[in-house]
Amino acid sequence: MLIDDLKELLKSIEPDVELIKKFWKNSGIDEEYQKLYERVHQPDFWKDKDQANISKRSEQVKDQRNSYNTIINTYKEFNELLDLFGEDEVELKKLNKKLLHPFAI
């Protein structure tokens, strides 16, 4: 049954998701993001001689943070959608297509 296959597929990537979470927790990127965010949003930040480098790093960290959140939220969302649409074969087929080809338009 499709629902079982999808659950098994998500279960197979669970260790990878957990590894990503563990890496993220130990990386310090969230703390760096917070510090950079606060610094960039200071009223006189434009006067900082390192403004360009700080802004560039802030954008890099922001992108990393967004990527992490996308991965974690998408994984969680797929699990929730499988629970929600467990009996709807049409929706499960859509989820299957999206899960197998997440970047297809």
Q: Are 74 and 80 in contact (CB under 8 A)?
A: no
pLDDT at 105 over 60: no
CATH of 2-100, one of 1.10.3470, 1.20.58, 3.40.50, 3.50.30: 1.20.58
pLDDT in tens, 24-67: 999 999 999 999 999 999 999 999 999 999 999 999 999 999 99
pLDDT averaged over every residue in the chain:
91
Q: What's the pLDDT at 2? A: 86
Instruction: Answer yes or no: is pLDDT of 103 > 70.
Output: no
Alpha-carbon distance of 64 to 66, in angstroms, equals 5
The domains of the chain are located at 2-100
C-alpha–C-alpha distance, residues 78 and 98, integer Å: 10
